Structure 1
Amino acid sequence: MPGVIAALQYATAVTFLVIGLAAYRYGAAGQRAAETAVTRQGFPVEILSRHRVRIEESLAELMLPLGISVVLATLATLNLTAPYIGRIATWIIHPILLIAGGFITAGQVFTVRFVEAEFRKSQDPDARAVDVRDVINAASAVFPVWLRPMIVTRFVLVTLGSALILLLTAG
């Protein structure tokens, strides 16, 4: 079982690494595309920042997915080379990843729904009138076509993969 557990952990680590790098590389262009879409709809660019919609990722923000990637790769290596330590570390890391990571990655899988819901609840009438799908689609069009399937894959690995890892570790 350590081989299966490590494979899932390495795969999850790769998704965090690749998605983090893609977000950093293409995020500024995605931000500009979202801002263009908002202004095309007749709203000020600031409406996005006022409602915490940000596509661009800073170098500091890139450190989180890279850090998670390193932790998961280290954990996978431990599960292969020092299974007892790897098992204990897995029991510490994967419940956190399952809950916190599942929530965060769900927001990235269901971005349009989450942002639409936030804008609908807003007291700002302009926010309620924004075509969120158009804004997110404009931003998404800037990113590589493989990014969306990778985001979904990461969500599955973080949630179902972590649950499976915990089940396999328990056995």
Structure 2
Amino acid sequence: MHTITAVMQLLVAAAFVSIPVVRHRFGPAAKAAAVAELRRQNVRPEVLEENKLRFDAGGHETAAPLAVAAVMTLTAALNFAGADLAQLLTWIFSSLVLLMNVAIVHSNLTAVTSVEAAFRRNGDPELARIEVAPFLHAAEDAFPHWVRAQTYLRNTVVFAGSAVALIAVSLVPA
């Protein structure tokens, strides 16, 4: 069961690594599309930089998924080694990853309303003027079509891999 758990954790780690890889590769195109949409809306594109809005893999967009991948890889290594601590860490981290992925999916599904609210709260009148739905749609369309399938696959791997890891570790005597 340790091997099954570890393999699932490595799949989850790989799924999280894919996030900054895709953003790094296609983020500049998404930004260019978002800038073009802002110009179409007669909004100064500089408002993105002024408010630290980005589409690339910088900052927490890289650090958070890579941290999750590192923790899952470490936990997988402990499972491969059959370490006593592996079971407890699997319960903790696989559960957290499941909950985090629920939050990520929710954030993606409510992106337009969340961004609209964030822009209003920001206090920058230029941000508040942005028509968010076409702005986000333009950025999203700059990513290749396969990225949407990759997102579904990534979420499936994270949910299923974490669930299988938790089931497998629960079958190991304490």
After TM superposition, the score normalised by the length of structure 1 is 0.75
**Deviation of 1:109 (Å):** 5.3
Aligned to 1:142: 142
Aligned to 1:76: 76
C-alpha distance after superposition, 1:80-136 (max 9, x if no partner): 331533212212322332334542454245433432343466655654442222211
Confirm or deny: 8 A CA contact 1:10 1:76 kept in the other structure. yes
**Deviation of 1:163 (Å):** 4.8
Aligned to 2:107: 107
The higher-RCO structure (CA 8 Å, 6+ apart) is 2
How far apart, CA to CA, are the structure 2 residues paired with 1:8 and 1:67? Answer: 17
Assess, with a 3 A threshold, how the Cα gap between structure 1 residues 50 and 59 changes in structure 2: closer, same or farther: closer
Larger mean CA deviation between 23-32 and 119-128 belongs to 119-128
C-alpha distance after superposition, 1:125-161 (max 9, x if no partner): 6544422222112212222322223333334444564
Larger mean CA deviation between 5-14 and 118-127 belongs to 118-127
Which blocks of at least 5 consecutive residues in structure 2 are unaligned?
Answer: none
Confirm or deny: 8 A CA contact 1:116 1:132 kept in the other structure. yes
Aligned to 2:170: 170
Detail structure 1 runs of 4+ shifted over 6 Å in the superposition.
Answer: none
**Deviation of 1:66 (Å):** 2.6
**Aligned Cα root-mean-square deviation (Å):** 3.2
What percentage of residue pairs aligned between the two structures are identical?
Answer: 29
Larger mean CA deviation between 148-157 and 30-39 belongs to 148-157
